[in-house]
Each structure stands twice: as C-alpha cells, then as structure tokens.
Chain A
Amino acid sequence: MITGSIRRGIKQGIDTTLLLAKVVIPVYMFVTVLRYTPVMDMIATMFKPFMALFNLPGEAAVVLVLGNCLNFFAALGAMSAINLTAAQITTIALMLSFSHALFMETAVVKMLGVNEIGMTATRLAMSFIVGIIAGNIGGLLQWLK
C-alpha cells in the first residue's frame, strides 16, 4: 500500500512536471526571443508607469498577464527569462499568489454559488495593494543599501 502510494505520487509528480514543461518551455522561449526584438521594449515602455507602482520593470507586465490569464507556471517561465532582483521576484510572487489562473479558479468559485465577480475583484485588489506595499518596501531597502 505504501509503495503503491509512493509510486503513484512519483508518477503524479512526473506528470505534473511534464505538463508544466509544456507550458514553461514555450513561454520561456517566447519571452527570451521577445527580449531580443523591439516588441519587448515597446511593452516595457508602455507598462513602465504602471509597473513602477510596484517597483517592477515594464517587462514584468508580461509575467503578471500570463500568471493571471494562464497559471503560475506560465508566469514562472516568463519570470525566469527576464532579469529581476530578489526583492522584485518576491513582489511578483506575492502579487501572483493573491491572483492567478483567474479564468480557471473563478469557474470553480462560481460553481459553489458564491459571488464570483466580488471574489475575483477582491483577489485583484489584494494583488495590487500588496504589490504596491511590497514593491515600495523592497525599493526602500534597495535604496538604503
């Protein structure tokens, strides 16, 4: 019984890894190539004022969009492909831990008969508020150094 559980667990782990490889590899490649094109500069410039609220570079908009529309792993792929400081990684992780995979998870909430729009709005609001606080604390610490 216990070896069966372990075997199933390992299989599940490998399946999950393969599943996320299918997401992480294309996203990582796409973002890496994008970084060498003018498109990434355009995105970065466009989102710079907004991302500055969270003390993040404009490119981070790509990470947040992927995490919210798809899932964590797409965001991880994109996140690893752009240069970020440890504080910025924590800020993005905080923001995404409050709101991610919104299409999928909102469907789950709706199924339970709870006000799904309110719940999703709360998640996005939390993500922004926590992002602003964490980003500024991170920025302050950087400045003190």
Chain B
Amino acid sequence: MVEIIKEAVFGSLNTIFKIAVIVIPLMVAMQLLKDYKILDRFANILRPVTDFFGMSKEASFPLLIGLVFGISYGAGAIVQSSREGSLTKRDITLVVLFLVNCHAVIEDTLVFVAVGANGFILLGTRLVAAIMLTYTMSKWLDKSDPQFK
C-alpha cells in the first residue's frame, strides 16, 4: 500500500514538473506576443492559406490567433472580425473547421512531447489533416450552396 502511494505521489509530481518546465516559459512567450501585439504585425502572414481556401483576406488573423493561442482566442478574433463585417458565413465555417482540428499548436505539441510523443508526427498530421478537411469542405460548400457566401 505504501508502495502504491509512493508511486502515485512521485509519479504525479514528476508529470507536473515535466509540464511546468514547458508551460512556464511558453506562457512568458505568449504574454510577450500578446502585450506587444506581435501577431498583429503578421496578420497577413496566412494570406496564401486563406487565398487557397478562397476565403476573405480578413480570415487570416483569426486563423493565426487560433493556431497560436487556442480555439477560445481564435473564436474571440472571429467574433471581432465578424462584427466589423468582414467575414462571411463561409469564412467562419471554414476557419472553425480548420481550428477545431488544429489549434494551440505550440502548447499542445510541446505538452505531448514532454510525455514522450513524437512532435513532428503530431504537428505534421494535424496540419495536413486540417488543410485537407478545410479544402474539401470549401469545395463542397461552393458546389452545394453557391449562395453561401
């Protein structure tokens, strides 16, 4: 019984430590990105991606925010952009489809690498799958409902 408790205590503390080593520096980096609005400067960096899916160019920023900070922040950016009236229903559907499959890529990948997963396989598969799904959906939307825009 003592052995079991010992195993549980040391094992769980060890796991926490592995995660903390990643999470703390990551949060510092994220805070700097947010405070200095660094991503705003790269708002258009995903334009080739949004062009590829035939989205409005304004979809680039929510996509970037979601990829880096996570789905909740991505959703916030979508709400903000759609208030300004620059996103269509089609844009929102495609951005959300992309982001539900692939978001917070830095944090999610590193956290799993900490417990022994292969980060390249993880990130690569997620990105490729999200691109394939979103592309298929974009074609399907255009065909099934040309008025969707």
Which A residues are closer than 8 A to B by beta carbons? 1-2, 4-6, 8-10, 12-14, 16-17, 20-21, 24-25, 28-29, 32-33, 36, 72-73, 76-77, 79-81, 86, 89-90, 92-94, 96-98, 105, 108-109, 111-115, 119-120, 122-123, 126, 130, 134
Contacts and interface: CB of A to CB of B under 8 A. Distances in A.
Contact of B129 (A5, A8, A98): A98
Contact of B78 (A76, A112, A126): A112
A76 to B, nearest CB: 6
A94 to B, nearest CB: 6
B72 A108 contact: yes
26 contacts: A4-B35, A9-B28, A13-B23, A13-B26, A16-B23, A17-B23, A25-B13, A28-B11, A28-B15, A29-B12, A72-B108, A76-B111, A80-B14, A90-B118, A97-B112, A98-B101, A98-B129, A109-B71, A109-B75, A111-B75, A112-B75, A112-B78, A112-B96, A122-B100, A122-B101, A134-B121
Interface of A is mostly: helix
Given A13-B27, A77-B15, A90 B79 contact: no
A86 B13 CA distance: 21
Nearest to B29: A9
Interface in B46-90: 71-72, 75, 78-79
Given A5-B36, A20-B16, A93-B122, 7 more contacts: A1-B35, A8-B31, A13-B27, A28-B15, A90-B121, A93-B112, A93-B117
B117 A13 contact: no
A20 B19 contact: yes
Interface of B is mostly: helix
B23 to A, nearest CB: 5
Interface of B: 4, 7-9, 11-16, 19-20, 23-32, 35-36, 71-72, 75, 78-79, 92-93, 96-97, 100-101, 108-109, 111-112, 115-118, 121-122, 125-126, 129, 133
